[in-house]
Amino acid sequence: MTRKLSVQACDREGPVEFRRSQGVGAAEAPAGGSDAPVFEKLLQKIMSRDARVAVMGLGYVGLPLVRLFAAKGFPVMGFDLDQAKVDQLNRGRSYIKSVPSAAIAKHVAEKQLMVTSDVRHLATADAIFICVPTPLTGDGKPDVSSIRQTAKAISNSLRRGQLIVLESTSYPGTTREIMKPELERKGLRCGTDFFLAFSPEREDPGNKDFTMEQIPKIVGGIDDASRQAAATLYKEAVNKVVEVSSCEAAEAAKLLENIYRCVNIALVNELKMCFDRMGIDVWEVIGAASTKPFGFQAFYPGPGLGGHCIPIDPFYLSWKAREFQFNTRFIDLAGELNIQMPFYVIAKLEEALRVRGKKLAGARILMLGLAYKKDIDDPRESPAFRLLELLEQKGASVVYNDPNIPKFPTMRHYQHLKVKAVPLTPTVLEGVDAALVVTDHGDFDYEMIAKHAPLIVDTRNACGGLERWREKIVRA
């Protein structure tokens, strides 16, 4: 059954009032008021799906979470600083490929979902999820300013009986050291007045094999009541909840998952360069090793790391570890190796052109794929931008094609780059000196690319299955 939010217009100046059309009555009294057993009441609201769920940060993580809880019948409020996103969602339009506009439009039309940038609405939420960005600063340190900002916004209107769950990836200790003191600033106590937990998001963008419901949720609380409240809420939405002893264990579990990927990707990237020198095909080797039914998991080399998680999250741990006089050598080494990959790709491209009597300076290069991985539309931290910068520095003239990113995005660290998108046609391919495959999107017609491009430098083995035109394909 769907619970509706009856919302007085999103008045950004005037008083804010929410009324639910049904369910458990008005907001709890503030601290110092009622002695009601806030914990039991919260659990009741959750289990009857009357709890009002708020999600702060409506990006790749927050928006699917909004959709999940709305689909389970909870009344949901979405918050984002970006007014353009708020307006778009309120018009029933999604900007994330994995979240269909139809789902958003339906929930908005049924008044089950309300989206706003006005944080005063937070006071009416029973559970607040935080899904804001956690990038690195310019000098490679954790930038938790968005977490601090949301903690402050919540604490300004915090009331008894609220559950706050941090989902943003961060170093162990973030929930306890940053969130808790800010939320307790006005006198309410965690574990009795309000509840605070950490639960990492484990989404794998573009992965069609697992829905959000199928991915187990790890939950750690500041205390037992907080963990239990958060676990109870997630159990209404996903098939399996894994409760751990603390927020720190949950924060560290997320980092372990991503460090595991980062280190293994660095390993295959190193082996790619090593095997290339030995005349061995690394993709063939990985394919053969993958036939072992146990004890081996395949990772694949590429042009460098990309995405919001793998290139960033490991350094949250290495930064925190330094506080404990501990040097995380595997993480640092993996970082060093992965950062080198775009240089390796450029060297291979330069060599392939040289063999064909051409120079990279002045060469026309078509970059295929900007997204950081296959079949997604997310360009964040994509190695494509480092490659574009290096190509520009070397004097090459570059255009690109990415079916999922038709307009060249402005990137925080690469604002100077402006690259033209071109259609992927035989004429365009015949007019360049080389096609550089950076992302192995399934929509690319590799047969057609190989037929018409004079040279293909393939960083993903996307052309591995082609039998013809092998002499034009160079793996990098």
Ligand X SMILES: NC(=O)c1ccc[n+]([C@@H]2O[C@H](COP(=O)([O-])OP(=O)(O)OC[C@H]3O[C@@H](n4cnc5c(N)ncnc54)[C@H](O)[C@@H]3O)[C@@H](O)[C@H]2O)c1
Q: Tell me which residues touch ligand X (CB under 6 A).
A: 56-62, 79-82, 85, 131-134, 146, 149-150, 168-169, 201, 203, 205, 308-309
Residue 39 or 129: which CB sits closer to ligand X?
129
Residue 150: CB minimum distance to ligand X, A: 5
DSSP assigned state of 357: T
Residue 219 CA to residue 214 CA, distance in Å, equals 15
What are the Cα distances from residue 460, in Å, to 131, 283, 372, 439? 31, 9, 12, 7
Q: How far apart are CA 356 and CA 333, in angstroms?
A: 35
Residue 101 exposed, middle or buried by CB count within 10 Å (0-12, 13-18, 19+):
middle
Instruction: Tell me whether residue 99 or residue 438 sits nearer to ligand X (CB atom).
Output: 99
Strands 473-475 and 456-458 turn out to be parallel
| Nearer to ligand X among residue 95 and residue 469 (C-beta) | 95
* Cβ proximity to ligand X, 101 vs 149, nearer residue: 149
In the complex, the smallest distance separating the C-beta of residue 169 from ligand X, rounded to whole angstroms, is: 4
Q: Which of 131, 190, 309, 463 is catalytic?
A: 309
Are the C-beta atoms of residues 134 and 312 closer than 8 Å to each other?
yes
Q: Per-residue b/e over 373-397, b at no fewer than 16 CB within 10 Å? A: bbbbbbbbbbbbbbbbebbbebebe
* Catalytic (active site) residue 309: yes
Which amino acid is it at 380? R
DSSP of 385-428: HHHHHHHHHTT-EEEEE-TT--SPPP-TT-TT---EE----HHH
Smallest gap from residue 166 Cβ to ligand X (A): 9
The answer to whether 379 and 405 are in contact (CB under 8 A) is yes
| 8 A C-beta contact, residue 77 and residue 5 | yes
Which residue's CB is nearer to ligand X, number 62 or number 314? Answer: 62
Tell the smallest beta-carbon distance from residue 436 to ligand X (Å).
25
| Helices and strands: H and E segment counts in the chain | 15, 16
Least gap, CB of 41 to ligand X (angstroms): 27
Question: Which residue, 314 or 401, is less far from ligand X as judged by CB?
Answer: 314
Residue 278 host element (H or E): helix 247-278
C-beta separation of 163 from 127 below 8 A: yes
Report the residue number, 305 or 309, with the smaller CB distance to ligand X. Answer: 309
- Whose Cβ is closer to ligand X: residue 205's or residue 302's? 205
3-state secondary structure of 114: strand
Going edge to edge, which strands form the sheet with 195-198?
Answer: 113-116, 76-79, 53-56, 127-130, 163-166, 195-198, 217-221, 241-244
Question: Residue 203 Cβ, how far from ligand X at the closest point, in Å?
Answer: 5
| Minimum distance from residue 344 beta carbon to ligand X (Å) | 26
Helix (H) or strand (E) holding 365: strand 364-368
Reported in sequence order, the residue ranges of 49-107 that DSSP labels E, i.e. its strands, are: 53-56, 76-79
What CA dihedral angle connects 400, 403, 406 and 411, to 10 degrees?
Answer: -70
Rounded to the nearest whole angstrom, what is the least distance from the CB of residue 231 to ligand X in the complex?
19
Using CA atoms, how far residue 421 sits from 369, 404, 424, 457, in Å, is 11, 11, 9, 19
What are residue 53's DSSP bridge partners? 76, 127
Q: Residue of minimal CB distance from ligand X? A: 59
Question: Cβ of residue 414: shortest distance to ligand X, in angstroms?
Answer: 16
Instruction: Cite the beta strand spans of 175-246 per DSSP E.
Output: 195-198, 217-221, 241-244
134 versus 269: smaller Cβ distance to ligand X:
134
Joined together, the tokens standing for residue 159 give 């009331």
Active site residues: 309
